[in-house]
Amino acid sequence: MTLQKISNSLEKPTFWAIPTSTLSAAELGEKTAALKQRLESIASRFSDVRFATSLAAEDMVITDAIATGRVNIQLFTLATGRLHQETLDMAQTTEKHYGISIAKAYPEDRDVQAFIDQYGMNGFYDGEAAKKACCGARKIKPLNAALLGADAWLTGQRREQSTTRVKLDFEEHDDARGIAKFNPLFDWTESDIWAYIKQKDAPIHPLHLKGYPSIGCEPCTRQVKKGEDIRAGRWWWLQSDSKECGLHANK
């Protein structure tokens, strides 16, 4: 092996970085106005609307629009028990920045213990079935509980995020929970998201600055190399068609 090849092999990988945006101020203004209109329309149609925020970039765009527009939509986050410390800190930062409260949806101890008894603390690494079981205990059941009594909920999903979301619509019906479901950013690009955040000076999750475009639980999320799919760092040990936890299974 040549000295050059050895040098190349020792180089540190280049990770994903927050993209620059070519969106004009006028174009961003139109998107921002449309988002505000979407949120106000949802809030006017339904009496109890709730937004599940992960505190990542997309969800911060929606949070900013809700908070600054004083839209009557409640915010909550899934406190899975396996989140990065940066995510826990981000919740506090967001509450302080906007003067709002974000409810925490915790898993039931018995559900977590049942998973551990069957698979082990980190058994989700063993395959899709174990991963679904963990997400079921730590995310899906808490989500179901957090949405009890609501007649609509919001997500930060976008069509561009993955192959499983390319046909995403603005409005869906969540048959599993019997309520309406909305994706206000379904037609936004990654560039649009970051243009909004920069213009509004919205809080940025610290992990976005360290190469994490998509953020979930700590043991199931890693940095993404430049050029990789933006969700490649989620459940990286599984196939690309397994990059969902089940939160958005509407049936």
- Give the residue numbers annotated as catalytic, written as ranges: 245
CA distance 24 to 78: 35
Return the bridge partners of 75, or none: 51
Strands across the sheet containing 179-182: 103-105, 74-78, 49-52, 152-154, 179-182, 171-174
Those residues whose C-beta lies under 8 Å from the C-beta of residue 129, and which sit 6 or more positions away, are none
CA distance 238 to 124: 10
Q: How far is CA 89 from the centre of its chain?
A: 16
